[in-house]
């Protein structure tokens, strides 16, 4: 079962279909006017989750791009007893020594190199590279084409926009938002919005 029936869900469904261990039953979406996503039926909104568990569905994947929503739904699913599975593209590269938690998407062309750690519910999107000994927290989104050199630490909930580049050893705090194309050559605090080449903090958010 896949939570979400939007664009991200379509990519995730393609990946899960390539996994012979997975039998997809349908999507769950807040928007009940949606009927299908990538050929899978939309079974209802979050109110049907407990009933699906009672019917014997045990595994779920949260395929929603918002880091906050994905984290909240992941917690909700686990409290109902569901196990969060991973959606790992067969066209990604993941080192045997990398550590992946649950509920993670690794999209085609992505690379996770030696001893990197990826926290639960995070997205390593299309063509993004996470180099040796990086540590990515929970519910992060490393957007397409981003490049993280070795030993980068990214706190939970952080979003690195498309094509972000980060030099080795940088620390980026939790719930940071880094604009597309930024080049991070200095560490960034949590809850900041930062953009540019070189990347600079333009806002420290107090609302999250």
Residues known to be catalytic: 132
Question: Is there a contact between 184 and 201 (Cβ–Cβ < 8 Å)?
Answer: no
Q: What's the per-residue H, E or C state across 104-134?
A: CEECCCCEECCCCEECCCCEECCCCEECCCC
The phi, psi pair for 69, rounded to 5°, reads -65, -40
Asked if 29 touches ligand JB2 (CB under 6 A), the answer is yes
Please, what is the minimum distance in Å from the beta carbon of residue 7 to ligand JB2? 4
Give me the least distance between CB of 176 and ligand JB2, in Å please.
17
Burial (Cβ within 10 Å: 0-12, 13-18, ≥19) of residue 122: buried
Of 7-15, 81-89, 113-121, 163-171, which part binds ligand JB2 (CB under 6 A)? Answer: 7-15
Whole-angstrom distance, CA of residue 179 vs CA of residue 166: 12
Q: Taking CB under 6 A as the rule, does residue 36 contact ligand JB2?
A: no
Choose which of 13, 60, 64, 110 interacts with ligand JB2 (CB under 6 A). Answer: 64
Binding range to ligand JB2, per CB under 6 A, among 13-21, 29-37, 150-158, 165-173: 29-37
C-alpha pair distances (Å), 41 with each of 28, 54, 105: 9, 19, 21
Options 2, 9, 121, 139; binder of ligand JB2; rule CB under 6 A: 9
Residue 65 engages ligand JB2 in binding (rule: CB under 6 A)? yes
Q: How far is the CB of 63 from ligand JB2 (least distance, A)?
A: 7
Residues of this chain that interact with ligand JB2 (CB under 6 A) are: 3-9, 28-31, 45-46, 64-65, 69, 73, 123
């Amino acid at each position: 079962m896949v939570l979400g029936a939007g664009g991200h869900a379509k990519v995730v469904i393609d990946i899960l279909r390539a996994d012979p261990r997975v039998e997809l039953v349908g999507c769950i979406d807040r928007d009940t006017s949606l009927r299908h996503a990538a050929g899978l039926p939309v079974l209802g909104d979050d109110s049907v989750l407990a009933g699906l568990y009672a019917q014997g569905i045990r595994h779920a994947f949260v395929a929603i791009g918002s880091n906050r929503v994905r984290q909240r739904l992941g917690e909700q699913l686990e409290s109902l007893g569901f196990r969060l599975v991973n959606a790992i593209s067969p066209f990604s590269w993941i080192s045997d020594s990398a550590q992946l938690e649950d509920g993670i998407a690794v999209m085609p062309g992505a690379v996770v190199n030696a001893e990197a750690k990826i926290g639960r519910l995070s997205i390593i999107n299309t063509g993004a590279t996470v180099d040796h000994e990086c540590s990515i927290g929970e519910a992060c989104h490393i957007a397409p084409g981003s490049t993280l050199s070795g030993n980068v630490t990214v706190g939970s909930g952080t979003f690195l926009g498309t094509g972000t580049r980060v030099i080795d050893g940088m620390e980026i705090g939790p719930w940071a938002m880094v604009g597309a194309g930024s080049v991070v050559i200095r560490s960034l605090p949590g809850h900041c919005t930062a953009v540019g080449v070189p990347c600079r903090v333009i806002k420290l958010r107090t609302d999250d």
